[in-house]
Amino acid sequence: MSNSDIPKSIWLIGCGNMAGAMLRQWVASGDVSPDQVTVIDPGKPQIPDGVRHLESPPEDGMPDAVMLGVKPQMLDDVAKGLAPRIKGTKLLLSILAGVEVAAIAKRFDVGAVVRVMPNLPVGLGKGVVLLNGAEPDSGAGKAAEALMQSLGLVEWIEREELFDAGTALSGCGPGFVFRFIDAFAEAGVAVGLPKDQALRLATATVDGASLMAADADDNPGVLADRVASPGGSTREGMNVLDDSDALKKLMVKTLTASRDRNQELAAAARGD
């Protein structure tokens, strides 16, 4: 992908926490100029200087791409007024959780629909963005991927039925990691460390270990075994995590619960 594939004009329909984080990183990275973007939101969103803000769509002009950033339950109300206005737009992106490509395509007559699932660290350019819908090698697919590149790792999910699983892992994942860091720090307190120091150590340890895992040729399981010498203290602690696959089973249960809730949201959007 190259910057030349990025849509030249973009409308953001709604600019809440996630869409706002994406917008700020696009502009901060230099990939998108503020004057390329129009935010259409009846509220008072926090947007970068130079980005145009309107309460309703302008009467003239057609953007190269539109991104839906409203709450999923607002989709029908938004579509009533917006769908006629953007009919024929080349690319419609949607970050609506649980709303499938077909549900979007049923409401909007556009060239291509791409479903997008970012996670919170996109605001730092260290996020994960999942894509599904258009063919990755098509013009719309290239445009969607190019726009998302500055946000972090971009991955196409080939089959939409796996999108809910991907959302559970990367979309919901930061919340799970935050919970782990908190529990890790609380464990440090339980074995005698001051609370503030335990939190600093836990946060820095997860940060450093994540960077090592991302940079390593071996998978994290191999790295874990490598630092756990037989009879050593790391091995003793890992024996607890590995006992009857306790940690793996907990994570499977966690992701399954999130995936199933995503599927429930999708069924509601379909009207099942």
- What residues pair up with 9 in beta bridges, in sequence order? none
The pTM score is: 0.92
Report the candidate in 144, 116, 153, 113 with the shortest Cα–Cα distance to residue 131.
Answer: 116
Whether 3-163 and 173-262 share one fold: the answer is: no
Tokens in use for 112?
């291509």
CB 142 within 8 A of CB 5: yes
Q: Which residues contact 45 (CB under 8 A, 6 or more apart)?
A: 15, 16, 20, 39, 53
Say if residue 3 carries a ligand binding annotation.
no
What CATH code is assigned to 173-262? 1.10.3730.10
Number of residues that this document lists for the chain? 272
CB 129 within 8 A of CB 108: no
Q: For the segment 116-146, what is each residue's pLDDT rounded down to a tens digit?
A: 999 999 999 999 999 999 999 999 999 999 9
Per-residue pLDDT at 2: 64
1 — pLDDT class (breaks 50, 70, 90): low
Say if residue 14 carries a ligand binding annotation.
yes
Task: Evaluate if residue 28 carries a pLDDT over 90.
Answer: yes
Using DSSP bridges, classify how beta strands 127-132 and 152-156 pair: parallel, antiparallel or unpaired.
Answer: parallel
Q: For the segment 191-234, what is each residue's pLDDT rounded down to a tens digit?
A: 999 999 999 999 999 999 999 999 999 999 999 999 999 999 99
At residue 133, φ and ψ (nearest 5 deg) are 140, -95
Task: Evaluate if residue 189 carries a pLDDT over 90.
Answer: yes
DSSP 8: S
262 — pLDDT class (breaks 50, 70, 90): confident
Per-residue pLDDT at 239: 95
Using DSSP bridges, classify how beta strands 37-40 and 52-54 pair: parallel, antiparallel or unpaired.
Answer: parallel
CB 182 within 8 A of CB 157: no
Once rounded to an integer, what is the mean pLDDT over residues 19-25? 97
Task: Evaluate if residue 4 carries a pLDDT over 90.
Answer: no
Q: Which residues contact 91 (CB under 8 A, 6 or more apart)?
A: 7, 64, 65, 66, 110, 111, 112, 114, 134, 140, 143, 144
105: helix, strand or coil: helix
Q: For the segment 89-112, what is each residue's pLDDT rounded down to a tens digit?
A: 999 999 998 899 999 999 999 999
Taking the domains of the chain in order of start, what are their residue ranges?
3-163, 173-262
Determine the Cα–Cα distance for residues 79 and 108; give it in Å rounded to an integer.
Answer: 7
Report the candidate in 15, 11, 132, 147 with the shortest Cα–Cα distance to residue 71.
Answer: 15
Could you list the beta-strand ranges (E) of 3-126. 10-13, 37-40, 52-54, 65-68, 91-94, 113-118
What CATH code is assigned to 3-163? 3.40.50.720
Task: Evaluate if residue 15 carries a pLDDT over 80.
Answer: yes
Report the candidate in 52, 29, 154, 135 with the shortest Cα–Cα distance to residue 91.
Answer: 135
